[in-house]
Amino acid sequence: METNSPAHPARRVLIGRIETLAIGQTDATLGFEGRLAAENGWSEAFAARVAVEYRRFLALIATGEEPLTPSDAVDQAWHLHLAYTRDYWQGLCRDIVGHAIHHEPTSGGPDQLERYRDCYARTLDRYRATFGEVPPIDIWPDPAERFAGRFVRVDMTRPPHPAGAIPTAIGAGVMAMMVIAGQHLVVAALLAVIAVVALCRSLGRFRHGDGDGFEWDFGGFDGSDGGDGGDGGCGSGCGGGCS
């Protein structure tokens, strides 16, 4: 039997150890799955399923040599696991796998997008071959859907930009002009203020910065990691291999 066969005894033992990998303190008030649910707005049941799929993804990396790419949901679990540094670098990489499993973001561009898309399709094929199951579609979508999304972090403690802010600004401005024409200057001034405030809220939030004055907050988007959605792994930079 080939050592890279999914049925090879050593591989099955390694896969089993990874699938039962503990992440974080088992008696923590907010455990790994709970934190994963809280940070992504998921139900605890869905987060628990994602955690299972994440461990399976790790098993695929550990038992193969080709670079792999996770789904977005699985990637969120990967990001969180990396925050548990001892569990990741010692409990997983050193004690179970025997070498580092690196996570690197894409460098961006259409070539990288196509490369990650191929890596993701290969990951789905490996999943079927290794586990004898079809990856759950709600966690492992097809490649077209996997790379269609564009995501930004959202601070849930802040009110969202009002959906009707721009129409409100335009409407108030028009009404102000009409009132001015009718010589009701006080009402016109009030409507003009409403228009300005609504427009400002639609463009950005006005908040105190670190220094004097203020700064505009355009929703916290940071495009430094590129925009094609894939995340890279070890030396190949394509979603998951090992070094």
pLDDT digits (tens, 9 = 90+) for 87-136: 999 999 999 999 999 998 887 888 888 899 999 999 999 999 999 999 99
pLDDT digits (tens, 9 = 90+) for 21-53: 999 988 889 999 999 999 999 999 999 999 999
Q: Are 180 and 188 in contact (CB under 8 A)?
A: yes
| pLDDT surpassing 60 at residue 158 | yes
Other C-beta atoms lying within 10 Å of the C-beta of residue 30? 11
Instruction: Grade residue 243 by pLDDT with cuts at 50, 70 and 90.
Output: very low
Does pTM surpass 0.75? no
Instruction: Grade residue 160 by pLDDT with cuts at 50, 70 and 90.
Output: low
Do the domain assignments include residue 100? yes
| pLDDT surpassing 60 at residue 4 | no
Reading the block at residue 128, the tokens are 């079927």
Q: Looking at beta carbons, which pairs linking 20-23 to residues 24 or more positions away fall under 8 Å?
A: 21/55, 21/58, 21/91, 21/92, 21/96, 22/87, 22/91, 23/51, 23/81, 23/84, 23/87, 23/91
Instruction: Grade residue 232 by pLDDT with cuts at 50, 70 and 90.
Output: very low
* Residue appearing with tokens 């427009």: 199
pLDDT digits (tens, 9 = 90+) for 211-226: 333 333 333 333 223 2
Reading the block at residue 243, the tokens are 């070094």
| pLDDT surpassing 80 at residue 174 | no
Tell me the sheet residues that pair with 217.
205
Do the domain assignments include residue 16? yes
Determine which helix (DSSP H) or strand (DSSP E) holds 9, and give its type and residue range: helix 9-19
Position 241 scores a pLDDT of 42
Q: Is 69 exposed, middle or buried (0-12, 13-18, 19+ CB in 10 A)?
A: buried
Tell me the sheet residues that pair with 231.
105
**Structural domain span for residue 20:** 6-147
In the chain, the N- to C-terminal Cα span, in Å, equals: 25
CA gap 53, 6 in Å, rounded = 17
Distance of CA 210 to the CA centre of its chain: 28
Do the domain assignments include residue 156? no
* Residue appearing with tokens 């139900």: 43
Determine which helix (DSSP H) or strand (DSSP E) holds 69, and give its type and residue range: none
| pLDDT surpassing 60 at residue 1 | no
CA gap 11, 22 in Å, rounded = 19
Do the domain assignments include residue 227? no
Of 213, 191, 217, 214, nearest in space to 203 by CA: 217
Do the domain assignments include residue 206? no
Instruction: Grade residue 239 by pLDDT with cuts at 50, 70 and 90.
Output: very low
Percent of the chain with pLDDT over 90: 47
Do the domain assignments include residue 219? no
The rounded mean pLDDT for the chain is 76
Position 169 scores a pLDDT of 54
Position 161 scores a pLDDT of 54
Contact partners, residue 134, CB within 8 Å, separation at least 6: 128
Number of domains in the chain: 1
Instruction: Grade residue 242 by pLDDT with cuts at 50, 70 and 90.
Output: very low
Q: Is 135 exposed, middle or buried (0-12, 13-18, 19+ CB in 10 A)?
A: buried
Position 147 scores a pLDDT of 84
Position 170 scores a pLDDT of 62
Reading the block at residue 233, the tokens are 């792994």
Position 217 scores a pLDDT of 37
Instruction: Grade residue 62 by pLDDT with cuts at 50, 70 and 90.
Output: very high
Do the domain assignments include residue 179? no
Position 144 scores a pLDDT of 87
* Residue appearing with tokens 């080709």: 66
Do the domain assignments include residue 49? yes
